[in-house]
A and B are shown apart, each in its own frame.
Chain A
Amino acid sequence: MAESGTQLFARLEARRCLKDIEPRLFADDGGPDHGEVVELYGPEGTGKTELLYHLLCRCVLPVAAGGLEVDVVFVDTDYSLDMFRLVSILDNRLNAGVSTSLTSARSNDAALRSCLSRLLVVHCCSSSQLLLTFHFLETTLSSRPSVALLLIDSISAFYWPDRSEGGASVTRQEEKLSKCSELMARLLRDYRITIFATCHTIRRSSSGPSSSSSASEPDRSYLCRSWQRLVTHRLLCSRQEAENKLAPADGGNRELRSRQVFSVHCSSSWMGTKASRVSSFTVTDGGVEFT
């Protein structure tokens, strides 16, 4: 298909590499490069969406506040984007960054608005609409060369409706997600963006000594093969149980608040090598804080 000169430049021009997006999550020098896909997998309440907000803020904030100033496209498949929480994290980080100089409410507002204008949000309500949206996003990607990150929350939202629509044949069940994955592979190749996607668990992990070896591990990916082939880094999120880690409270608070600590196990496999890393974080008003 013929493309115009501007489209060619938009495609070939180097988009911002996101290797340094969060070095504390990935193994040494193993951040997501151009064209790589990171999957955040975990049960409910393990901080996946918070991590997405953290990465989003890191991308849209200005360089002065510790960000990368790139555009982000957020594909929201289950209406889980909480704009107020996102704005409060952005506010917190913007204020922390310029705490020494005098800030007026208007300049803060303007900074916030410029950060938010780097974010594009798309809501999808079915997997066929998701497929069509990716086709449409191709034009968006070619017209906005500053888009470097595509966030999908979550890629598993249509798993059950697709399975039921596909009937008995597994190929038909996975057909739509396979088509989406193939299209995503083409977008990754042509436009060299990075994709982060969350995937919810569908099986509860059986705890205790009664779990037999024949039971399938709950951490195994259940989505179609084409998607599994795309994923280069897998972040397994979980809650750290039992010990209530007492995180030191802010000065002035008399009581020590015990904050839930989450842990992330990152396993990356690219170019034949494998690497892994475990990190942990808590969630505060200012977003994710690594411990």
Chain B
Amino acid sequence: MVVLLEGMCPGLDKDLLRSLRAADIRTVEDLVSSDIEDVAQKCSVSYKALLSIRRVLLAQHTAFPVSGADLYEELLSSTAILSTGNPSLDKLLDSGLYTGEITELSGGPGSGKSQVCFGVSVHIAHRLKQSVIYIDTTGGLTASRLLQMLQTETDNTDEQMEALQRIHTFRLFDVCALLDCLYGLCSGGLHKARVGGGSVKAVIVDSVSAVIAPLLGGRHNEGMSLMIQVAAALKTMAKDFSVAVLVTNHVTRSGSGEVQPGLGVSWSHIPRTRILLERVETGACVSRPGRRRVTLVKSSRQACRIKEDFDLQRWSGADGEAPSGKRKLDQADP
């Protein structure tokens, strides 16, 4: 709803505004939907003037159609695929996190969602040398764990410090603070975060269900509306600034008893790719407590329900100690 204000466009002066309000036209939508001849007679304004005001307002507030060819060109040049650092996860995600999309990682308590997020941010900050925005809503982020993960990647303390500087963290615990933070990022925060070196390529929200789930259910629809607003803010940020958004979610059990991602049906349309993380329950698990199984639940690029196993303790997947040789260089596609 955009309210008509004086000076919004040439020709919209105080007198015209007053006569429009008297004719019950208060917003841009009202003016655009009304019959111009009728209104011109009622407000005793020239038909041509009102028509040109309508055209200008429409041009200012509408979304412009873009040709498919131009859109494709733009996407080709601005989309990148960010490797997560873990080869099994990359295989599942069709080589990594795509910018311009929301990827959702869901799992039960203790399944390792935050650890996966740490691994991804450390990889992007250290190997790909790009900035990461980490929004923590559970209080689970500690810099010492990030440092520990960095120390397995490199021994050089300067490099470790540089990588840590590229990870910008926000700690918030309710949905209004989250919306504030996202709007702030969209309107300039992302550019400011560039100063540390490397533009922001990933935004991780761990976890989005912690702030939204308490609002759902009950008789009021505020919760659903806030959830859709958060989703819209994340999508706009992903598309307009070409960043990859990774969100985490909890799990619930469906009617037939199987595990599924939480936040309900209305949220399920929001992420483009969804993966489900679980512990591997086998008898001989004692020696490898970090084993996890990840399943692809929704994807527009690969067949669903493919599974991959990996070890949380060995994020880069290399079994040996030697860092060179076998390890592939992960680089973002230009």
- A128 near B67 with CB under 8 A, answer no
Complex CA distance for A235 and B81, rounded to whole angstroms:
35
Asked if B66 is at the interface of the complex by the 8 Å CB criterion, the answer is yes
Task: Choose one: A116, A125, A161; the contact of B72 (CB below 8 Å).
Answer: A116
Is the pair A45, B28 in contact by a Cβ cutoff of 8 Å? no
A: contact size bracket? 35 or more
Structural contact, A119 and B67, CB atoms closer than 8 A = yes
Interface residues in A19-75 by Cβ distance below 8 A to B read 43-45, 49, 60, 73-74
A257 to B302 alpha-carbon distance, docked (Å):
12
Tell me, yes or no, whether A121 is within 8 Å of chain B by CB.
Answer: yes
Partner among B32, B67, B266 whose Cβ is within 8 Å of the Cβ of A132: B32
Chain B residues bordering chain A, tally (CB within 8 A): 54
When each residue 198-229 of chain A gets 1 if its CB lies under 8 Å from chain B and 0 otherwise, what string results? 00111110111010000000000000000000
B269 adjacent to A128 (CB under 8 Å): no
Q: Does B301 contact A (CB under 8 A)?
A: yes
Whole-angstrom CA separation of A5 from B5 in the bound complex: 35
Q: DSSP class of A's interface residues: helix, strand, loop or mixed? A: mixed
What A residues does B222 contact at CB under 8 A? 164
Are A44 and B33 in touch, CB under 8 angstroms?
A: no
A260 within 8 A of B: yes
Q: How many A-B residue pairs have CB under 8 A?
A: 148
The closest CB in chain B to the CB of A239 belongs to B304
CB distance from A256 to the nearest CB of B (A): 13
- Bound-state CA distance A78–B63 (Å) is 13
B232 contacts A125, CB within 8 Å?
yes
By Cβ-Cβ distance, the 4 closest A-B pairs, closest first, are A119-B68, A164-B225, A116-B68, A44-B268
| 29 A-B residue pairings within 8 Å (CB atoms) | A1-B36, A44-B268, A78-B235, A83-B75, A86-B68, A116-B68, A117-B69, A119-B67, A122-B63, A122-B66, A123-B63, A128-B1, A128-B27, A128-B28, A132-B32, A132-B62, A135-B62, A136-B63, A157-B228, A160-B227, A161-B229, A163-B224, A164-B221, A164-B222, A164-B225, A200-B265, A200-B266, A202-B266, A204-B254
Given contacts A122-B65, A124-B63, 5 further A-B contacts (CB under 8 A): A79-B235, A79-B239, A116-B68, A202-B266, A260-B305
